[in-house]
């Protein structure tokens, strides 16, 4: 029996699930706490945000690069009895992927409501790319990177962007605007580690890390935990917050052969080129319908490459797209209004989903005045220390990055 492509894609799940609670710890350069302590705090905050008690959350999912505390430990600290849990290996791009797994777990009847968390001492614990301390034994697959001083994400992602500059004439100044515009959001976000606004010159004049990257092209590694809670739209209706409905999710979609060694090419193409073929048809919307993006900014250029390959602009025109004002507060489609990983803190992607959930609720602001009924009145004045709520935000897209060859994505709408 043949199945049409329309039947084979799970569009019937569109709108059926929602993120109902979000929470986090502070983002700190030196947190001084265990991943257990931080994880418990983030999940507790998200449960309180959703109005869920200990008997209401029966599923947990987390991800880590073996640098965290497993979900049964966190769940037990919160008095939960779990019907489902899983702790998966991975960093960036895991948030959207495990959201899809959580929806699957609920859909199969294994559990009803799932808390997803990431807890990491990203500054003081495991560092991405290592520290150079100790003398590790390098074997097998590692021999095709480590002996060449080609180990950190900055080192092994950057050939893509260097080639982009060569092929399309993209400039360091253009991509520096990603940091500039994210810093605008951060300046309106009291949670941000780097809350001051920076200029293109600040980025270009910061010290080189891996050419073509300067220090300010790189994200700020921090200690923190983050959590989102997903359940059915039906249950969401009885909960405290306006739900953020899931329109579509893509999990760790990859280029041919993962392209870890850039054999498939073109090397300026990232996994979003493939992920978008799942993301947009399943969501029933396209890039032009999106009001706010949350594009993974491990580096300034990872945001640029993803925005191109998900179709927010033409391939090769990302330099213009990220520098012409579109992605800044007050622009046509702001990106990472919290400041993202470049400014707010580094959580392997989950913080950008939290920010967009709050955008869809219309409650993302921290500094705007509260009226006599306790309702925040957005000023839409986007100067430093002001508003970061995007006016009438109805649809958001999160673009998660693991490597150039693997990515995940999520489209949500205001419930």
Partner 1 sequence: MPLQGEYLGMELFVPDEGVEHKKFFEYCGRGDFRLQRWKSNGLLSYPPSTGNPWDGTTEHDWESVEAKGNVMSYVEVPHAIIPALREHSPYLVLLVELDVQRGEPSEHEALRVIGNLVTPDGDLAPPDLVDRVGIGSRVRMVFRRVGEGFALPQWTLDETADQPKPWRYVEGSGP
CA dihedral of 264, 266, 268, 273, whole degrees rounded to 10: -80
Q: Which residues pair with 64 in a beta bridge?
A: 89
* Alpha-carbon span 84 to 110, nearest angstrom: 6
- Sign of dihedral through CA atoms 391, 395, 400, 404? negative
* Alpha-carbon span 346 to 123, nearest angstrom: 9
Q: Which burial class, exposed, middle or buried, applies to 328 when counting CB atoms under 10 A from its CB (0-12, 13-18, 19+)?
A: buried
Q: Which stretch binds partner 1 (CB under 8 A): 101-109, 132-140, 229-237, 321-329?
A: 132-140
Mapped onto helix, strand or coil, the DSSP state of residue 20 is strand
Size of residue set near partner 1 by CB under 8 A: 53
- Kindly state whether residue 86 participates in binding partner 1, applying the rule CB under 8 A: no
Per-residue x/- mask for partner 1, residues 186 to 215, rule CB under 8 A?
A: ------------------xx-xxxxxx---
Kindly tell me which of 261 and 391 has the beta carbon lying closer to partner 1. 261
The interface with partner 1 within residues 290-319 (CB under 8 A) comprises none
Among 55, 135, 288, 374, binds partner 1 (CB under 8 A): 135
Per-residue x/- mask for partner 1, residues 265 to 284, rule CB under 8 A?
A: xxx-x---------------
Q: Which stretch binds partner 1 (CB under 8 A): 9-17, 76-84, 159-167, 387-395?
A: 159-167
* Alpha-carbon span 70 to 64, nearest angstrom: 9
The interface with partner 1 within residues 241-270 (CB under 8 A) comprises 256-257, 261-267, 269
Q: Are 231 and 114 in contact (CB under 8 A)?
A: yes
* Alpha-carbon span 318 to 301, nearest angstrom: 9
Q: Between the CA of residue 162 and those of 54, 153, 166, 212, 268, what are the distances in Å?
A: 50, 14, 6, 7, 9
Kindly tell me which of 7 and 201 has the beta carbon lying closer to partner 1. 201
Give residues with Cβ within 8 angstroms of 384, minimum separation 6: 184, 187, 188, 197
* Alpha-carbon span 243 to 237, nearest angstrom: 8
What is the C-alpha end-to-end distance of the chain, expressed in Å?
37
Kindly tell me which of 209 and 233 has the beta carbon lying closer to partner 1. 209
Q: Are 92 and 298 in contact (CB under 8 A)?
A: yes
Smallest separation (angstroms) from partner 1 to the CB of 364: 34
Could you write out the DSSP letters of every residue in 46-104?
Answer: HHHHHT--TTT--EEEEEESS-S--HHHHHHHTT---SEEEEEE-STTHHHHHHHHHHH
Kindly tell me which of 108 and 139 has the beta carbon lying closer to partner 1. 139
Kindly tell me which of 265 and 369 has the beta carbon lying closer to partner 1. 265
- Kindly state whether residue 108 participates in binding partner 1, applying the rule CB under 8 A: no
Smallest separation (angstroms) from partner 1 to the CB of 179: 15
Smallest separation (angstroms) from partner 1 to the CB of 256: 8
- Kindly state whether residue 173 participates in binding partner 1, applying the rule CB under 8 A: yes
Among 160, 302, 338, 403, binds partner 1 (CB under 8 A): 160
Q: What residues are annotated to the active site?
A: 296, 346
- Kindly state whether residue 162 participates in binding partner 1, applying the rule CB under 8 A: yes
Q: Which burial class, exposed, middle or buried, applies to 283 when counting CB atoms under 10 A from its CB (0-12, 13-18, 19+)?
A: buried
Q: Which stretch binds partner 1 (CB under 8 A): 82-90, 93-101, 129-137, 387-395?
A: 129-137
Kindly tell me which of 145 and 331 has the beta carbon lying closer to partner 1. 145
Smallest separation (angstroms) from partner 1 to the CB of 260: 9
Kindly tell me which of 51 and 208 has the beta carbon lying closer to partner 1. 208
Kindly tell me which of 211 and 391 has the beta carbon lying closer to partner 1. 211
* Alpha-carbon span 280 to 342, nearest angstrom: 27
Smallest separation (angstroms) from partner 1 to the CB of 180: 15
* Alpha-carbon span 325 to 178, nearest angstrom: 10
Among 12, 137, 371, 374, binds partner 1 (CB under 8 A): 137
Residues that bind partner 1 (CB under 8 A): 129-132, 135-141, 143-152, 155, 158-160, 162-163, 165-166, 169-174, 204-205, 207-212, 256-257, 261-267, 269
């Amino acid at each position: 029996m043949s199945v049409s492509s329309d039947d084979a894609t799970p569009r019937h799940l569109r709108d059926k699930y929602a993120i109902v609670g979000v929470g986090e710890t502070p983002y700190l350069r030196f947190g001084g706490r265990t991943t257990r302590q931080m994880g418990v705090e983030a999940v507790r905050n998200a449960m309180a945000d959703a109005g869920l008690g200990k008997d209401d959350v029966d599923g947990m999912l987390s991800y880590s690069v073996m640098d965290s505390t497993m979900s049964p430990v966190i769940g037990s600290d919160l008095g939960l009895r779990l019907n489902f849990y899983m702790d998966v290996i991975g960093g960036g791009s895991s948030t959207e992927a495990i959201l899809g797994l959580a929806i699957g777990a609920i859909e199969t009847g294994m559990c009803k409501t799932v808390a997803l968390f990431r807890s990491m001492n990203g500054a003081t614990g495991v560092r991405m790319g290592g520290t150079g301390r100790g003398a590790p034994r390098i074997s097998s697959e590692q021999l095709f990177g480590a002996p060449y001083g080609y180990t950190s994400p900055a080192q092994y992602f950057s050939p893509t962007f260097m080639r982009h500059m060569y092929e399309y004439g993209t400039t360091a100044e253009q991509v520096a605007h990603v940091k500039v515009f994210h810093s605008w959001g951060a300046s309106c976000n009291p949670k941000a580690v780097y809350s001051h606004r920076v200029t293109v010159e600040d980025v270009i004049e910061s010290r080189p890390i891996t050419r073509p990257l300067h220090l300010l092209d790189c994200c700020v590694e921090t200690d923190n935990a983050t959590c989102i809670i997903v359940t059915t739209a039906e249950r969401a209706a009885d909960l405290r917050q306006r739900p953020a409905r899931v329109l579509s999710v893509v999990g760790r979609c990859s280029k041919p052969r993962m392209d870890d060694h850039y054999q498939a090419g073109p090397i300026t193409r990232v996994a979003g080129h493939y992920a978008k073929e799942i993301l947009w048809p399943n969501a029933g919307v396209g890039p032009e319908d999106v009001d706010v993006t949350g594009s993974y900014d491990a580096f300034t250029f990872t945001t640029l490459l993803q925005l191109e390959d998900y179709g927010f602009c033409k391939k090769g025109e990302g330099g213009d797209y990220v520098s012409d004002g579109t992605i800044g507060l007050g622009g046509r489609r702001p990106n990472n209004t919290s400041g993202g990983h470049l400014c707010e803190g580094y959580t392997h992607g989950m913080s950008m989903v939290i920010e967009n959930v709050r955008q869809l609720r219309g409650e993302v602001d921290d500094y705007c005045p509260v009226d006599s009924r306790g309702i925040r009145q957005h000023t839409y004045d986007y100067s430093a220390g002001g508003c970061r709520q995007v006016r009438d935000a109805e649809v958001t897209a999160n673009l998660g990055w693991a490597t150039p060859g693997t990515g995940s994505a999520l489209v949500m709408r205001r419930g």
